[in-house]
Amino acid sequence: MATRVGLESYEVLACHGVFDFEREKTQPFVISIWATLVEDVIGDDIELTLNYADLQSAVDTEVVNSEPVNLMETLCYKLVSNISQNDVVAALSIRIEKPDAPFPHPGGLAVVEHEWTRD
């Protein structure tokens, strides 16, 4: 059995996108992260697991407080690089939604999902 720790639907404001106007004004990003732990947590010790606050802090560092990037795929990569440094993490599932993405027609939701597994 695998234990997963998650942060679901964390909405932040940031300036990322291909177009100049996306980089000049903040827009919402909704981020969900699920981390599969290397092993089940048997003891009642926070050091044996991934703290939910660490996931939120990673988003703040890599999405909110970072230089603008063009692609949500790049944001996923940055989150993986940050969170995977924790040795208790065996795999990550990341979903980034961009509710105000500039589409040519009304409707739809821009989404990128990324799966990562420790080798």
Model pTM greater than 0.85? yes
Residue by residue, DSSP assigns 70-98 as S-HHHHHHHHHHHHTTSTTEEEEEEEEEE
Pairwise pLDDT comparison (19 vs 2), residue with the higher score: 19
Given 1.10.3720.10, 3.30.1130.10, 3.20.20.70, 3.30.450.20, which CATH number is that of 4-101?
A: 3.30.1130.10
| Residue range 69-88, pLDDT digits in tens | 999 999 999 999 999 999 99
Residue 1 has what pLDDT? 65
Residue extents of the structural domains in the chain: 4-101
Collapse the DSSP code of 103 into the 3-class scheme (helix H, G, I; strand E, B; otherwise coil) and give the result: coil
- CA 57/CA 55 separation, integer angstroms: 5
- Give the separation between CA 102 and CA 94, rounded to whole angstroms: 22
The predicted structure's pLDDT at residue 110: 98
